[in-house]
Amino acid sequence: MGAPKRPTFLTVLCILSFIGCGLGVFSGITGYFSYKAMSSIGDGMQDEWKQAMDNAMENAAAEEGMGDAGAELARGLGDALGGATNFSAMANSSLIQGLLCILIFVGVFMMWKLKKTGFYIYTVGQIALVATPFLLVGGLAGGMMATLGAIFPIIFIILYGLNLKHMS
């Protein structure tokens, strides 16, 4: 009697995850350097951009006849969008996400070897990966990135969970 055979479904999930981890590491590294380059240009302009955004929102609210409440709502929207221009935070978020993909890779490799511990490492890594933009970038931009970034991890965690019975 040899080693237990890995189910085909688990093999396919692991291969897809290996590919995803490789792309995640590449994306994290390139994103880090791209955002760092943009931060040297854009972070100094963040206050000016926020002021311009506030003025534009207030003018739009005034043109629509929304009054003070509309102007306040417009300022709030401008503040929420402000996180989208924090390139330093986005660079750090990209780097951390790339590093977390290495942790996720370790979890997937352990599941490839049919080790149940890999599932828990994978799950923790995916939760941290999804939470990173929300925590570091913040605001509406970070929330949107975290929400959209949670779709595939949730699906894969469920699918791997269905295969726990094959792992020891």
The mean pLDDT of 44-68, rounded to a whole number, is 63
Q: Tokens 């237990």 sit at which residue?
A: 4
Q: Does the pLDDT value for residue 74 go beyond 80?
A: no
pLDDT in tens, 25-40: 999 999 999 888 877 7
pLDDT in tens, 129-146: 999 888 887 777 778 878
Six-digit token string for 44 = 């100094």
Q: Please give the Cα distance from 168 to 45 (Å, whole number).
A: 54
| Band (90; pLDDT cuts 50, 70, 90) | confident
Q: What is the mean pLDDT of the chain?
A: 83
Six-digit token string for 78 = 């401008």
Query: Which of 102 and 90 is assigned the larger pLDDT?
Result: 102
- Assessment of whether the complete model's pTM goes beyond 0.85: no
Q: Please give the Cα distance from 13 to 18 (Å, whole number).
A: 9
Q: Does the pLDDT value for residue 45 go beyond 60?
A: no
**DSSP conformational letter for 5:** P
Q: What are phi and psi of 149, to 5 degrees?
A: -75, -5
97: closest CA among 108, 89, 107, 86? 89
Q: Does the pLDDT value for residue 18 go beyond 90?
A: yes
Supply the pLDDT for residue 80.
56
